[in-house]
Amino acid sequence: MENNKLTSRCLRACLFICAITCSIVALAQENKSLPDKVHHAEPLYNDLVRDLGARKGEKEFNVGADIKRTHSADEFGYLMEYEFAPIDRLGLEAETDFAYSKSRIANESSSNQLERLRLSSQYSFYVSKKHATTLAVGYTQIFNFVDGGTAFNPFFIAAKNWNSNWHALVYTGPELAYHYASSRMDMMWQVNTSFHYTIPQTDHFIGIEVNQEISSEGIETVLHPQVKLGLSNRLAIGMAVGLPISGHEKALSSFWRLIYQL
């Protein structure tokens, strides 16, 4: 009888200790500090896979359009992308690019086609609030449906803030394009730099993005002055103008992006 009472008391004590322990663990998990993350103003035209220093569970959906008018056609490029962070500091993205060309020449038909599928990953391996700096590496696999090929694009990102409102970012890496029909491999190097000023106490920014492609044919450079307006905690819109300053590209273009945090 005494043994049964002792066993019952021990069992109740164990259950009580387990309940207290579970409560403490649950509370600790709820109060667990989030990993460091530095807010960087990120470029609109050549945007990143996910926020630098992304936190688990973050998700975003983007749609955008690039409009260019040449002497022979009005060219429209559309994109849709979904990006998310399955774990802290890792971002994944799927993007589809569509192209529509409206001919301005008589008897020439217009075209509408799915151009590319991009699958990307990006990992922020260094995040320092003290130095307001984030470093990341990533990779994009590009499937070109129009040209009949695929491209491999590893990249490196460095971002730095000054006085909370001034932001600089560099995105660079090679892109190796393989063409199925000719079995030829071409390489060009991307160097994209951006400088932004964020308006205090808002999600708005103004800035400029410099997009460069370096290949055996020379250097293509396009400036993208841009502005981003935060419409709410979840919704923002960005607009940019493309100004070619070197290379074969001569036509001006405009670009907009709608950003929705899920």
CA-to-CA dists, residue 156 to 26, 76, 90, 255, angstroms: 38, 29, 14, 24
Asked if 112 and 99 touch (Cβ cutoff 8 Å), the reply is yes
Q: 16 with 124, same domain?
A: no
Distance from C-alpha of 214 to C-alpha of 189, rounded to nearest angstrom: 5
Interval 65-94: pLDDT, tens: 999 887 777 889 999 999 999 999 999 999
Q: What is the reported pLDDT for 7?
A: 41
Look-up of token digits 């100004």:
243
Q: 8 with 83, same domain?
A: no
Q: What is the reported pLDDT for 232?
A: 93
Q: 17 with 129, same domain?
A: no
Non-local CB neighbours of 120 within 8 Å, separated by 6+ positions: 49, 91, 92, 93, 94, 95, 138, 139, 140, 141
Residue ranges of the chain whose pLDDT lies below 50: 2-7, 10-11, 13-15, 17-18, 21-31
Distance from C-alpha of 190 to C-alpha of 114, rounded to nearest angstrom: 23
Report the candidate in 162, 185, 157 with the shortest Cα–Cα distance to residue 43: 157
Q: 2 with 115, same domain?
A: no
Alpha helices in the chain (DSSP H): 2-30
Residue 129 tokens, joined: 């609030």
Q: 103 with 232, same domain?
A: yes
Q: 178 with 140, same domain?
A: yes
- CATH value at residue 226: 2.40.160.40
213 in a structural domain: yes
Q: What is the reported pLDDT for 24?
A: 42
Backbone angles phi, psi at 11, to 5 degrees: -65, -45
Domain range for 9 is 1-32
50 in a structural domain: no
Q: What is the reported pLDDT for 6?
A: 39
Q: 196 with 104, same domain?
A: yes
Which residues are paired to 16 by β-bridges? none
Q: CA-CA-CA-CA torsion for 38, 43, 47, 49, nearest 10 degrees?
A: -10
